Amino acid sequence: MIEPMSTTANAISPSSAAPTSSSLPEDELREGAQGPEVQRLQTVLVRLKYLTTRADGDFGPKTTAALQAFQSDWRLTPDGVYGPGTRAALLKALVPVYKPKVVSRPSPNHEPRRGTDIDVILLHHTASNRASVDLATLRKGSGPNRVSAHYLVAPGGTLYQLVQDSRAAWHAGVSSLYGETKPSVNLRSIGIELTNDGSGTTPFTEEQYRVLERLVPYLARTYRVPKQNILGHRDVAPGRKTDPADNFDWARVRRAVDAVL
C-alpha cells in the first residue's frame, strides 16, 4: 500500500473498537467444520477483507483460501488451519494502527524504488539538536553529499515528511542487510531521522517516543515489515555508523510494534 504525503492523520483501521478475546473462537477449526464458531472466524476475516463472501458458518474452500492468505501475509505456515498462532495474529490484526499527523517539507533527494518492496524500517539520529538545521540538511538540493529521509521527528514531537513512502530516500549510504547489498538498503527501506546530537547523553524526548510508538507500528503493519528488520543505522553499517545513540530506548518501540504484529 503506497501512502501519499499528507498533512492529516491517516488510519488503517479494520475495526473502530479494540478487539477482545471473545471476538474469535478458542478451538482449532479447519475445512469441513460448521457452526457459530466458524461464523465468528469468518466475520473477522470479512472485517479484515480477506473473505469477500458472507459469514455463513460453513468452513469451505473460500474460508481456507482466505485464512491461507492471512497466514501468508503474517508469515505463518499457510496451512489454512485455524489454531493458536493464527488466533493470536488475528487479534493483533484487529488492533487499529494510525499514521500520526505529518507536516510536509519535501526534499528533492529521492529516487524510484524500481519495484523493490519495503521490508526495512531504519532509525537514525541526526547529530544535531535543532530540527531547523536537520531540515536544511535533508532538503539541500545541490552539492556532492545530498541526503534525505522519509521522516524527521523533532524534539517537540513534530513529524515532518520529506519523501513519499513510495520513493527511495538517501539515508543509508554504504550498507547491507544481513550481508546483502542488493537490493540496496535505501531501495528497500523507510528512513526515520530523530533530531538528537547522538552523544549518548542527550535524551531522546518523550514526544519523540510517542510519535515513534505510532509511526513505526503503522509503517510495519502497512508494509508488512518483519520485526527483525526494524533496525538502527548501526545495524546496516556496523563500524561506520552508531545511530541511534546508545541511550535510545529500543524497548519502547518494540513494545509498540509487538502490540500490532
Whether 4 shows a pLDDT value over 50: the answer reads no
- Could you check whether the bond before residue 183 is cis, i.e. omega within 30 degrees of 0? yes
Whether 30 shows a pLDDT value over 90: the answer reads yes
CA 45 to chain centre: 21
Q: How many folded domains does the chain comprise?
A: 2
Bridge partners (DSSP) of residue 196 are 128
Residues ≥6 apart with Cβ < 8 Å to 219: 121, 165, 190, 225
Report the alpha-carbon distance of residue 171 to residue 110 in Å, rounded.
10
Pairing status of strand 151-153 against strand 97-99: unpaired
Residues 162, 178, single domain; the answer is yes
Specify burial of residue 52 (Cβ count, 10 A radius: 0-12, 13-18, 19+): exposed
Give me the torsion for CA of 14, 17, 20, 23, rounded to 10°.
-50
pLDDT of residue 58: 98
pLDDT of residue 143: 84
Residues 236, 207, single domain; the answer is yes
pLDDT of residue 16: 40
Structure confidence by residue, pLDDT tens digits, 175-199: 999 999 999 999 999 999 999 999 9
Supply the DSSP string of 220-251, one letter for each residue: HHHHT--GGGEEEHHHHSTTT--PSPTT--HH
Q: Which helix (H) or strand (E) holds 125?
A: strand 120-125
Structure confidence by residue, pLDDT tens digits, 199-249: 999 999 999 999 999 999 999 999 999 999 999 999 999 999 999 999 999
Instruction: Select which of 193, 206, 207, 213 is catalytic.
Output: 193
**193 is known as an active-site residue:** yes
pLDDT of residue 21: 55
We report the CATH number of the domain holding residue 207 as 3.40.80.10
Q: Identify whether 85 is part of a domain.
A: yes
Q: Identify whether 230 is part of a domain.
A: yes
Residues 48, 74, single domain; the answer is yes
Residues 46, 126, single domain; the answer is no
pLDDT of residue 20: 54
Mean pLDDT computed over 151-173? 99
Q: Which residue, 94, 114, 143, sits at the end of a domain?
A: 94
Q: Identify whether 13 is part of a domain.
A: no
Q: What percent of the chain has pLDDT over 90?
A: 90
Residues 25, 84, single domain; the answer is yes
Report the alpha-carbon distance of residue 137 to residue 216 in Å, rounded.
23
Whether 9 shows a pLDDT value over 80: the answer reads no
Residues 229, 200, single domain; the answer is yes
Structure confidence by residue, pLDDT tens digits, 48-100: 999 999 999 999 999 999 999 999 999 999 999 999 999 999 999 999 999 99
Query: What's the one-letter identity of residue 184?
Result: S
pLDDT of residue 169: 99
Residues 43, 158, single domain; the answer is no
Hey, what's the cell of 97? 494502527
Domain interval for residue 40: 19-94
Residues 118, 154, single domain; the answer is yes
Hey, what's the cell of 53? 463472501
CB 193 within 8 A of CB 159: no
pLDDT of residue 2: 28
Report the alpha-carbon distance of residue 162 to residue 89 in Å, rounded.
32
pLDDT of residue 22: 63
Q: Which residue, 94, 125, 142, sits at the end of a domain?
A: 94
pLDDT of residue 104: 99
Residues ≥6 apart with Cβ < 8 Å to 72: 78
HSE of 17, CA atoms in CB hemisphere, 13 A: 6
Q: Provide the mean pLDDT of the chain.
A: 93
pLDDT of residue 18: 47
CB 161 within 8 A of CB 104: yes
Say which range, 16-20, 139-143, 190-194, 255-259, has the weakest mean pLDDT: 16-20
Mean pLDDT computed over 250-260? 98
Residues 70, 104, single domain; the answer is no
Report the alpha-carbon distance of residue 159 to residue 155 in Å, rounded.
10
Among 194, 143, 189, CA closest to 169: 189
pLDDT of residue 144: 84
